[in-house]
Amino acid sequence: NAGVTQTPKFQVLKTGQSMTLQCAQDMNHNSMYWYRQDPGMGLRLIYYSASEGTTDKGEVPNGYNVSRLNKREFSLRLESAAPSQTSVYFCATCRGTGSYEQYFGPGTRLTVT
């Protein structure tokens, strides 16, 4: 089992370009999350999906959109990239809402010039 996979691993964008970060899980988990990691700031929640068909904003949703395509896949879209979105993006999954731990993917390092 691959667990949580993310594509691409690295990406460089120019300001104003758009892209979609992909996340897939084979753990049969209900909940999925997108975080960004910035130096000195830990991880901050961008969006999450508590179950298939639902999505909700996290702490820093501005400039992003998400799609929960099915139970396995949760994508993050940057419509018009900005240098402030340079970060490492992590996808995570969780069995469900409640007392469960999250499992993280390997991350996507995005640079916006």
Partner 1 sequence: AQSVSQHNHHVILSEAASLELGCNYSYGGTVNLFWYVQYPGQHLQLLLKYFSGDPLVKGIKGFEAEFIKSKFSFNLRKPSVQWSDTAEYFCAASTGTASKLTFGTGTRLQVTL
What is the contact surface with partner 1 in residues (CB under 8 A)?
31, 33, 35, 40-45, 48, 50, 56, 58, 90, 92, 94, 96-107
37: CB partners within 8 A, 6+ apart: 43, 44, 87, 88, 89, 90, 107
Tokens 């900005």 belong to residue: 82
Minimum distance between the CB of residue 103 and partner 1, rounded to whole angstroms? 8
Minimum CB separation from partner 1 for residue 14, in Å?
A: 26
Query: CB-wise, 14 or 53, nearer to partner 1?
Result: 53
Rounded to an integer, what distance in angstroms lies between the CA atom of residue 23 and that of residue 25? 7
Query: Which residue, 27 or 50, is less far from partner 1 as judged by CB?
Result: 50
CB of residue 23 to partner 1, shortest distance in Å: 12
